[in-house]
Amino acid sequence: MGKGSFIKQNYQEKSMTEIRSNWTKEEIADIYHMPLLELVYHAAGVHRKHHDPREVQVSSLLSIKTGGCVEDCGYCSQAARYHTNVKVHKLLSSEEVAIAADNAKAGGASRMCLGAAWREVRDNKDFDKVLDMVKGINAKGMEVCCTLGMVTEQQAQKLADAGLYAYNHNIDTSEEFYGEVITTRSYDDRLETLKNVRKAGLTVCSGGIIGMGESAEDRIGMLLTLANLPVHPESVPINALVPVEGTPLEKMEFVKALDMVRMVATTRVVMPGSVVRLSAGRLQMSEEAQALCFLAGAGSIFAGDKLLTTPNPAFNEDMDLFKTLGLKPKAAFKDKKNTSLESVSNLTN
Ligand code: SAM
Ligand code: DTB
Ligand code: SF4
């Protein structure tokens, strides 16, 4: 099918707003390459059909174990093999994490995302401590998300039993470009973790990064993988690379804000039911560019003055922006539904 023909044939038809997992690369490419304002207009329509456009989910990130990671992810400040300025620390205590969650809640966050610089979860005392942290934050009425590296189905189940709401594990980029950025674990390893998370009935948060030197085709390829999962991730974070000194990607130029808008809009169109998170890189984006991302379907942000190790706009700045744009933070647990594979399998064919 020629470029643009998919759009012409299906524009404004039901097929452009339905949730499906049988996308072709050409279809997604046609959407990605639409004239930007047409794309934003269309994405805004899809967004309104599936979501309340005034609500934005606010997540707060906390690095509970920082640095010293054995992996070689080329973007990451926390890989032990790169000489970055990151301050390494072992696992925080449950008390420290509880204080951070209280502050995040007071700032307007309904979700707390705990990140650890681990390759994978191990069945040890540290994992037990994380399970305690999850229970503690859940009891505060906040959604809890963890991003701890690879997990088995049993570990995902333990997290689910502790009250975890979501598990974040990004595929980062296309299968073809992946090996340029990471060599210590495979694309299939990542997909396996996503499967394990899904089987445990947790909601899945999975997206990637743009600005690592990938082509438009790679961005499209990443969306193809996510949009053709049997069940779409409930959250899809779109990160702009934050180039970190000492990493192999330190010299990458910051991605153009309008490329973020295009990526957010395309993600919105191909996974209409998912919440698209405008993730790392907002500090480098103007308020106007962020506004375009919200119009194009971003329904979530990370708020608070730190991401995991790099800076981010402060809570009050984001709340001011929300006020200007007429947006409001979304309450916790509004999207709660049973998302185990069996319960949703009838939606996927
Ligand atoms: N260690 C765990 C893992 O790799 O799954 C969890 C933490 S890891 C930092 C989570 C995600 O953050 C990565 O998969 C990547 O998509 C994103 N990320 C990390 N460093 C980044 C950077 N410098 N710029 C943008 N995104 C980044
Ligand atoms: C995601 O997609 N982005 C977040 C979260 N999931 C874990 C991480 C962004 C990290 C940005 C670089 C840093 O602060 O170290
Ligand atoms: Fe380790 Fe995660 Fe960083 Fe990769 S992204 S180096 S796995 S902390």
pLDDT digits (tens, 9 = 90+) for 142-152: 999 999 999 99
The number of CA neighbours under 13 Å toward the Cβ of 237 is 28
Residue 28 lies in a domain: no
- In terms of C-beta density within 10 A (0-12 exposed, 13-18 middle, 19 or more buried), how is residue 305 classed? middle
What would the two tokens of residue 242 be? 């934050």
| Residue 11: per-residue pLDDT | 46
Of 101, 102, 88, the closest CA to residue 62 belongs to 101
Nearest CA to ligand 1 atom 23: 242
Q: Tell me the residue type at 136.
A: G
Nearest CA to ligand 1 atom 19: 76
**For residue 334, what pLDDT band results from cuts at 50, 70 and 90?**
confident
Q: What percent of the chain has pLDDT over 90?
A: 89
Residue 24 lies in a domain: no
| Residue 17: per-residue pLDDT | 79
Whether residue 3 has pLDDT greater than 50: no
The catalytic position among 111, 113, 185, 219 is 113
DSSP-derived letter for residue 284 is: G
166-168/203-205 β-pairing: parallel
| Residue 332: per-residue pLDDT | 87
User: Who's near 33: CB < 8 A, 6+ residues apart?
Assistant: 3, 4, 216
Contact 187, 171 (CB under 8 A): yes
Q: What percent of the chain has pLDDT over 70?
A: 91
121 lines ligand 3 (CB under 6 A): no
Whether residue 140 has pLDDT greater than 50: yes
97 lines ligand 3 (CB under 6 A): no
Residue 41 lies in a domain: no
Nearest CA to ligand 1 atom 2: 149
Q: What is the mean pLDDT of the chain?
A: 93
How many whole angstroms from 184 Cα to the centroid of ligand 1?
A: 14
Mean pLDDT value of segment 265-282:
98
pLDDT in tens, 76-111: 999 999 999 999 999 999 999 999 999 999 988 999
Domain range for residue 321? 46-332
Lowest mean pLDDT among 263-267, 328-332, 337-341: 337-341
| Residue 5: per-residue pLDDT | 47
Mean pLDDT value of segment 274-295:
98
pLDDT in tens, 175-204: 999 999 999 999 999 999 999 999 999 999
Residue 346 lies in a domain: no
116 lines ligand 3 (CB under 6 A): no
CA distance 204 to 193: 10
| Ligand closest in space to the Cα of 243 | 1
Residue 99 lies in a domain: yes
Residue 344 lies in a domain: no
| Residue 240: per-residue pLDDT | 98
Is 113 tagged catalytic?
yes
Of 37, 22, 36, 29, the closest CA to residue 4 belongs to 29
- In terms of C-beta density within 10 A (0-12 exposed, 13-18 middle, 19 or more buried), how is residue 297 classed? buried
**For residue 335, what pLDDT band results from cuts at 50, 70 and 90?**
confident
Residue 57 lies in a domain: yes
How many whole angstroms from 85 Cα to the centroid of ligand 3?
A: 15
**For residue 317, what pLDDT band results from cuts at 50, 70 and 90?**
very high
Whether residue 64 has pLDDT greater than 60: yes
User: Who's near 13: CB < 8 A, 6+ residues apart?
Assistant: none
Mean pLDDT value of segment 239-245:
98
Whether residue 348 has pLDDT greater than 80: no
**For residue 160, what pLDDT band results from cuts at 50, 70 and 90?**
very high
203 lines ligand 2 (CB under 6 A): no
Whether residue 10 has pLDDT greater than 80: no
- Length of the chain equals 349
What would the two tokens of residue 189 be? 């390893």
144 sits in which H/E element:
strand 143-147
| Residue 343: per-residue pLDDT | 43
Residue 125: other Cβ atoms inside 10 A:
9
Is 146 tagged catalytic?
no
Angle at 347 between CA 346 and CA 349, to 5 degrees: 80
Of 58, 46, 3, the closest CA to residue 28 belongs to 3
Residue 5 lies in a domain: no
What would the two tokens of residue 287 be? 């308020």
| Residue 347: per-residue pLDDT | 32
Q: pTM (2 decimals)? A: 0.94
What would the two tokens of residue 219 be? 């961005």
The catalytic position among 185, 190, 268, 277 is 277
More confident residue, 53 or 344: 53
The catalytic position among 20, 48, 54, 69 is 69
Is 54 tagged catalytic?
no
Domain count, the chain: 1
Mean pLDDT value of segment 1-30:
71
Mean pLDDT value of segment 271-276:
98
Mean pLDDT value of segment 212-234:
98
Contact 224, 23 (CB under 8 A): yes
The CATH number covering residue 89 comes to: 3.20.20.70
CA distance 248 to 277: 25
| Residue 336: per-residue pLDDT | 66
